[in-house]
Amino acid sequence: MRIRIATRKSALALWQAEFVAARLRSMPGVSDVELLPMSTKGDEILDRSLQKIGGKGLFIKELEIAMQRGDADIAVHSMKDVPAEMPTGFCLASTLERANPVDALVSRDHVAFADLPLGAHIGSSSLRRQAQLRMLRPDLKIEPLRGNVNTRLAKLEAGEFDAIILAAVGLQRLELDHHITEQFTTEQMLPATAQGVLGIECLEERDDLRELLSHLDHSPTVQTTVAERTVARTLQASCQSPVATFAEIADGKLRIRGLAAMPDGSESIRDSIQGTPDDAAALGDRLAQRMLEGGAGELLERAAAGG
């Protein structure tokens, strides 16, 4: 079987696609794997926030169109960029083992978070990160920051910011982890839904691909990803909502934590739930329902309306 992978052109997206390609090339029955690098609207429009131009789904739309046209067979995604509701006709065919899920501080001169000066300028376009940063340090001045990893690092080096926040896994995959000043614990900052997870998307009708790709599934990651994405789906959160959720399995138990907040950090709702990993979807739904009963829906509506 020949497999064509639709991928964004960024260095990180290409790393991820090549990582999957290497796994596929080692599988029986796979004769050839080809990468099809593509530019997406999310990559091209950098002068406006993702919230204003349609959300992170813009990073994957062109890849899905390529699969519909028959130009590509699969697409590899950072699962934190994939909307909680898959579009009709597409499916998540494989969920690979989760890598580092946490956020990292990258600061000039490697100044620790606690030692950043009063009113320090921090670069981050994520409302989830903004809310949690302001809960930790209300004095910080947080400004939008978009572009690929190297673009963001260049803006920091140019003195536009005192520090920026990035997913630790992206820096590690690109061998740029020497830039990391410190990594936030999940108690300090809950990650984005499925951060650190790679997923493979294909057309729902491609039974041949779905069977092959299922062998790349990592069962515990499937369960934690299902749990986190269920929380986001039930809360009707987009990739840009100030929502965080993190699930982990320890001692045979699945623990899910959730957060919904105002972007300025002034209000938040936190909750957690624990149960058996086989009940991942039900547990995620139950946690989100409890958060909604606690006022998360109204809070997120106000957040979406700008307060």
Domain-by-domain residue ranges, the chain? 2-95+197-217, 103-183, 231-302
The average confidence (pLDDT) of the chain is 93
pLDDT at 261: 97
Q: What is the pLDDT of residue 305?
A: 86
Cα–Cα distance between 16 and 88 in angstroms, integer?
Answer: 25
State both tokens at 3: 């497999």
Token representation of residue 257: 């934590």
Q: What is the pLDDT of residues 148-162, one digit of tens each?
A: 999 999 999 999 999
Buried b / exposed e along 46-66 (16+ C-beta atoms within 10 A):
eeeebbeeebbbbbbebbbeb
Binning pLDDT at 50, 70 and 90, where does residue 146 land? confident
CATH architecture of the region 231-302? 2-Layer Sandwich (3.30)
| Domain covering 2-95+197-217, topology | D-Maltodextrin-Binding Protein; domain 2 (3.40.190)
Segments of 163-242 assigned E as strands: 163-167, 182-183, 198-203
State yes or no: pLDDT of 47 exceeds 90: no
pLDDT above 70: residue 297:
yes
Beta bridge partners of 12: none
**pLDDT at site 3:** 98
Angle, helix 280-293 to helix 219-234, in steps of 10 degrees:
30
The two beta strands, 141-143 and 163-167, are: unpaired
Percent of the chain with pLDDT over 70: 93
| Position 53 pLDDT exceeds 80 | no
Sheet harboring 163-167: ordered strands across?
141-143, 121-123, 163-167, 103-107, 182-183
Residues 6+ apart with CB under 8 A from 27: 212, 215
For the residues 128-147, what does the mean pLDDT come to?
Answer: 96
pLDDT for 49 equals 47
Percent of the chain with pLDDT over 90: 88
Q: Indicate the pLDDT class of residue 44, thresholds 50, 70 and 90.
A: low
Q: Domain 103-183 belongs to what architecture?
A: 3-Layer(aba) Sandwich (3.40)
Query: Nearest 5 degrees, angle CA 101-CA 107-CA 111?
Result: 110
In this prediction, residue 306 carries a pLDDT of: 80
Q: Coil, strand or helix: which one is 28?
A: coil
> From the CB of residue 26, how many other CB atoms can be counted at a distance below 10 Å?
8
- Classify burial at 205, counting beta carbons within 10 Å of its beta carbon; exposed 0-12, middle 13-18, buried 19 or more: exposed
Mean pLDDT score, 82-101 = 95
- Assigned token pair, 122: 């921090």
CB 71 within 8 Å of CB 4: yes
Q: What is the reported pLDDT for 52?
A: 52
Residue 32 bears catalytic tag: no
**Among the listed ranges 10-19, 33-42, 195-204, which one has the minimum average pLDDT value?**
33-42
Q: Which is the catalytic residue, given 32, 43, 47, 81?
A: 81
pLDDT in tens, 176-230: 999 999 999 999 999 999 999 999 999 999 999 999 999 999 999 999 999 999 9
Given a contact cutoff of 8 angstroms between Cβ atoms, the answer to whether 301 and 243 are in contact is: no
Residue 45 has pLDDT above 60, yes or no: no
Least confident of 47-56, 59-68, 157-166, 296-305: 47-56
Residue 119's CB is within 10 A of a number of other CB atoms, namely: 10
Are 94 and 88 in contact, with CB atoms under 8 Å apart? no
Whether 2-95+197-217 shares its CATH topology with 231-302 is answered no
**Which pLDDT band holds residue 74 (cuts at 50, 70, 90)?**
very high
